[in-house]
Amino acid sequence: MQKTKGVYQVNGENRDIDYKFVRGLEIYRTGKAFEDAGHEVYTIEKEEGVEIIGKKGRTLTINYRIDDVSLAHFDALLLPGGFSPDLLREDDRFVEFTKAFMDDKKTVFAICHGQQLLISAKSLAGREATGYKSIIVDLENAGAKFRDEEIVVCQNQLVTSRTPADMLAFNRVSLNLLGK
């Protein structure tokens, strides 16, 4: 079986030296789970080669610039939470990339605030989803059918989760959907 190439969209822009925008737990644990299952995992940002420092001090090096990738390069998209999705959705390139995955029926995983990119991509109308408490109204306003559950799988394409506390279940369900 060919393994899925996963991709993260992250934002390491650091407007305040003491404040980190990357929710490291969602990137590192989920990325490790995907890699341990044999999947290739890549990161996308505005610039490649940039080193991102997460909230807990872990580092991550960006593999690709958003301008250098296309939908054809990847089988799945992971949208981690934290402040990153809110910052990325200011950039139409990231919103369009996310929308392309949904429109092409490729697998998309979003945890915590990752759904904000799906909201901006206008890809949640009529879909079941969950998310972090502070974006429930945003999800509903985007037309999503909000469910307050650990994990919500919609049409075997979209996996959403509420918080890092749900991460083990999120990883398990995500990997099962990918066929491990």
Number of domains making up the chain = 1
Q: What is the mean pLDDT of the chain?
A: 85
Q: Which residues are the active-site residues?
A: 112-113
Domain that holds residue 72: 5-177
> Whats the size of the chain, residue-wise?
180
pTM of the model: 0.88
Percentage of the residues of the chain whose pLDDT score is greater than 90: 53
pLDDT of residue 6: 61
Q: What digits encode the pLDDT tens for the residues 40-62? A: 888 888 888 888 776 667 777 88
Q: What digits encode the pLDDT tens for the residues 108-129? A: 999 999 999 999 999 999 999 9
Q: What is the DSSP letter of 112?
A: T
- List the helix and strand counts (H, then E) for the chain: 6, 11
Q: What is the CATH number of the domain that holds 42?
A: 3.40.50.880
